[in-house]
């Protein structure tokens, strides 16, 4: 199945080379969860803060629910500053 994978700020370094504008379309196996996709792409869990699927916040305890065809997974790190 195909999903749109978006990584922002410092996480952008984990996107494949063909990514444009912080996003890439990926083919993933049926039943792949946000947590699995992040692991497959080498994104360290310790750096993941905000996870949205189709614009809806996914709390850490629900990040193992499977994605579906056409889903958009967007991820941000914790941001520090002032």
pLDDT tens, position by position, 27-45: 999 999 999 999 999 999 9
Q: Is residue 81 a part of any domain in this protein? A: no
The pLDDT score that the predictor gives to residue 82 is 56
Domain assignment present for 82:
no
Is 42 a domain residue? yes
Tell whether 33 is covered by a domain: yes
Burial group, residue 69, by CB count within 10 angstroms (0-12, 13-18, 19+): exposed
Split into its structural domains, the chain has a count of 1
**Single pTM value for the model:** 0.93
Tell me how far CA of residue 80 lies from CA of 4, 10, 44, 69, 77, in angstroms.
Answer: 26, 12, 18, 34, 9
Any idea what the CATH number is for the domain that residue 35 is in?
3.10.20.30
Domain with 28, as residue range(s), is 2-76
């Amino acid at each position: 199945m195909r999903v749109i994978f978006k990584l922002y700020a410092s996480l952008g370094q984990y996107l494949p080379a063909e990514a444009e504008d912080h996003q890439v379309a990926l083919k993933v196996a049926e039943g792949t969860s946000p947590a699995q996709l992040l692991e497959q792409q080498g994104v360290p869990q310790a750096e993941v803060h905000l996870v949205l699927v189709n614009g809806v916040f996914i709390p850490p305890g629900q990040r193992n629910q499977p994605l579906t065809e056409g889903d958009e997974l967007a991820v941000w790190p914790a941001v520090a500053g002032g």
